[in-house]
Amino acid sequence: MNKKTPLFKVMAYTFLSLFAIMNIIPIFWMIVNSFKEEQEYAANPFSFPTTLHFSNYTKAWEIANMNIYFLNSLLITFVSLIVTVLLGSLAAYFLARFTFKLRGFTYALFLLGMLVPIHATLIPIFLIMQKLSLIDTYFSLILPYTAFHLSLTVFILEGFMRGFPKDLEESGIMDGAGVFRIFWSIILPITRPAMATVVILNFIYNWNEYLFALVLITSNSLKTLPLGLANFVGVETASYTLQMSALTIALVPILIFYLLLQKQLVTGMTAGAVKG
Amino acid sequence: MHTLKQNKLAIFIGLFPALVIYLGIAIIPIGISLYYSVMDWNGIGKMSFVGLDNYSRILTDDTFWLSVQNNIVIMLTGLVGQLPLGLIMAMLLNKGLKGSGFFRTVGFMPVVISSVMVSLIWGMIYNTEYGMLNSMLAFFGLESWQQNWLGDMKWSMLSISVAYIWQNCGLYMVIFLAALQNIPDEVNEAAELDGATGFRRTLHITIPMLRSTIMVAVVYSISNSFRVFDLIQVLTGGGPAHQTEVMTLYMYNSAFMNLRYGYGSAVSILILVFSLVVISIVNRIGREKDA
């Protein structure tokens, strides 16, 4: 039905291309310059490198402690993610498949969390962690990451589980399986599509988180990737090409992750925004 | 379906761990913030009750109002920058042009990158001596246009706004695109029969059809603007001379740099109040138009 005149096409492609260039150029420019020698970059930041200096990467990897930050980020991201999904799916199961007096209230309580800005809780959480001597430990990040992503997790999983037919659990009850058994072997396996969305969302949010890490982590050996990078760039001001190499190292995995799981990421993050 | 008595215990066991972590860390601290906000405390010494002192001091601090002003700039950047640009992109991508998938992929890419990374990349773009922007201007012989993009009071907030649009525009693009794809074909066909084409159709048919999505996007964009922290903290740290400071940064500085936890808590409560007030006003305006 859409008639597209040539003029419209030209204008549309011009606009789209400008937008795409705006999005790609900063990253492209950074990656290109990360291969230059410092003098070459300083002489002309707006040219292609004459030779590719991969040594920047090995240097950046070492000086920036990238291995430590990567490991910390992986550990904190995955532990938080597993705890969130486990507790969240269990809670979602009882909220979706059972009737009890405080069901509506509990559900509403969980949803409330999507409205809470983390900075409104930052100071008390810092002081609580300090009191519990958890400050500057993995736990000080795992706990808030879990707590703040339970809302969205419960919301998405509950909505999905609610849609299952009512007599789904019957075969399990007939076999005399308990409620937890039914959860584990009947409900969880068919929740997989929603689980994928939730896992991806939790991963990306935890992986990118900065504010909690900034406040709750001080030891260099415990810093996550965003915090470590921000510090590195703040300190290592002498070499821009090293900074760019470090940033590229951190950027590439997330870009690959995005390109591989684009569909789930886009739908998940959109749902997270619209509902949150 | 399960009404057996024994399930009560199971329900309790199933919900309890999630509720404890969630309430203890995401909800109760707001109450604690409220409590701290009427206290004077440096974290070590004695805590003393000061009533509304913190609030009145904040509300008479020029730096705080500067940060409010910058929050408004960020909010408007979202509303007049990110949303319209995202909407235009979505409309173009909805035309079924070749290569739409590529443009969508590229458009959403900045959204998945951490805001720290976005700030660090833009920090290099804006770098005065070796940044991409200034060297690009030199490349085109426009040396006179070169600026100290982040260090100059005139430019710093604008520079941040551009980075902010870059970071989030793609999110609104896919939100609008999803809504556009939900408009039934019959609507467009009917419009065409009535002779509504091009710009007129967009204005009178498409935009009204997207009303509820636009409202959601507006509210999300506003609440997002009150949460901005990473981008500015990493890019400028609020400088030069507090010129780019936003409320969250003001809170962070008072609590964690100056160790005034009571004062900082009061700021965090004010941020919460401000954002709730703005959002409820916007919601009301949105509903009035419905009537």
Nearest to B189 among A1, A24, A151 (CB): A1
> How confident is the model over A110-152, as pLDDT tens digits?
998 888 888 889 999 999 999 999 999 999 999 999 999 999 9
Q: Per-residue pLDDT averaged across B57-66, rounded?
A: 95
Q: Per-residue pLDDT averaged across A43-69, rounded?
A: 84
Residue B144: Cβ-neighbour burial (10 angstroms; 0-12, 13-18, 19+): exposed
Please report the pLDDT score of residue A138 as a whole number.
95
In angstroms, the separation between the Cα of residue A53 and the nearest Cα of chain B is 19
- Of A267-271, B62-66, B91-95, which has the strongest mean pLDDT? B62-66
In this predicted structure, the answer to whether residue A26 has a pLDDT above a threshold of 60 is yes
Nearest to B166 among A22, A124, A214 (CB): A22
Closest CA to A262 of B181, B105, B86: B105
- Cβ distance of B178 and A270 shorter than 8 Å: yes
For residues B31-46, b (16+ Cβ closer than 10 Å) or e, as one string? ebbbebbbbbbeeeee
Q: Which are the contacts of A248, defined by CB distance < 8 A and separation ≥ 6?
A: A30, A31, A34, A57
**DSSP of B126-172:** H-TTT-HHHHHHHHTT-GGG---TTTSHHHHHHHHHHHHHHHHHHHH
Q: What is the rounded CA–CA span in Å between residue A229 and residue B111? A: 18
ipTM: 0.90
Closest CA to A156 of A18, A272, A7, A28: A272
Question: Which of A48, A119, A142 to mutate to test binding with chain B, by most B CBs within 10 Å of its CB?
Answer: A119
Q: What is the rounded CA–CA span in Å between residue A89 and residue A195? A: 9
pLDDT above 90: percentage of residues in chain B: 60
Using a CB-CB cut-off of 8 Å, the residues of chain B touching A211 are 229-230
Please report the pLDDT score of residue B35 as a whole number.
94
Question: Which of B21, B187, B189 to mutate to test binding with chain A, by most A CBs within 10 Å of its CB?
Answer: B21
Please report the pLDDT score of residue A42 as a whole number.
80
> How confident is the model over A210-252, as pLDDT tens digits?
999 999 999 999 999 999 999 988 777 678 888 899 999 999 9
Please report the pLDDT score of residue A48 as a whole number.
81
Determine the topology of domain A67-274 in CATH. MetI-like fold (1.10.3720)
Query: In chain A, whose CA is at the least distance from the CA of B93?
Result: A16
* CA distances, A42 to each of A49, A223, A239, B130, B135 (Å): 12, 30, 10, 6, 10
Write the single-letter amino acid at A249: I
> How confident is the model over B122-157, as pLDDT tens digits?
998 998 888 888 888 888 888 888 888 888 888 999
- Cβ distance of A226 and B114 shorter than 8 Å: yes
- Cβ distance of B226 and A117 shorter than 8 Å: yes
Using a CB-CB cut-off of 8 Å, the residues of chain A touching B265 are 123-124
Contact status of A38 with chain B (Cβ, < 8 Å): no
In this predicted structure, the answer to whether residue B82 has a pLDDT above a threshold of 70 is yes
Residue B172: Cβ-neighbour burial (10 angstroms; 0-12, 13-18, 19+): buried
In angstroms, the separation between the Cα of residue A12 and the nearest Cα of chain B is 6
Please report the pLDDT score of residue B1 as a whole number.
46
Mean of all residue pLDDT scores within chain A: 89
Element spanning B40, H or E: strand B39-40
In angstroms, the separation between the Cα of residue B124 and the nearest Cα of chain A is 8
Contact status of B120 with chain A (Cβ, < 8 Å): yes
Count the residues in chain A.
276
Nearest to A266 among B22, B135, B174 (CB): B174
- Cβ distance of B27 and A118 shorter than 8 Å: no
- Cβ distance of A46 and B135 shorter than 8 Å: yes
pTM for the whole structure: 0.90
Please report the pLDDT score of residue B3 as a whole number.
47
A-proximal residues of B, 44-103, CB under 8 Å: 85, 88-89, 92-93, 95-97, 99, 102-103
B-proximal residues of A, 175-234, CB under 8 Å: 178-180, 183, 204, 207-211, 214-215, 225-227, 229-230, 233
Q: Which residues make beta-bridge pairs with B49?
A: B39
Structure tokens at B35: 């409590």
Nearest to A273 among B88, B175, B264 (CB): B175
State whether the Cα torsion B267-B269-B272-B275 is positive or negative.
negative
- Cβ distance of B105 and A262 shorter than 8 Å: yes
Q: What is the rounded CA–CA span in Å between residue B236 and residue B245? A: 9
In angstroms, the separation between the Cα of residue B154 and the nearest Cα of chain A is 23
> How confident is the model over B153-171, as pLDDT tens digits?
889 999 999 999 999 999 9
Using a CB-CB cut-off of 8 Å, the residues of chain B touching A243 are 120, 124
Contact status of B117 with chain A (Cβ, < 8 Å): yes
- For chain A, the domains span 67-274
Q: Per-residue pLDDT averaged across B232-256, rounded?
A: 93
- What DSSP character marks residue B229? -
Residue A269: Cβ-neighbour burial (10 angstroms; 0-12, 13-18, 19+): buried
Using a CB-CB cut-off of 8 Å, the residues of chain A touching B248 are 119
> How confident is the model over B173-210, as pLDDT tens digits?
999 999 998 888 777 777 777 776 677 777 777 888 88
Nearest to B117 among A124, A247, A274 (CB): A247
Contact call for residues B39 and B50 (beta carbons, < 8 A): yes
Q: Which residues make beta-bridge pairs with B40?
A: B48
Residue with tokens 């913030």: B33
Please report the pLDDT score of residue A174 as a whole number.
81
pLDDT category at A1 given cuts 50, 70, 90 is very low
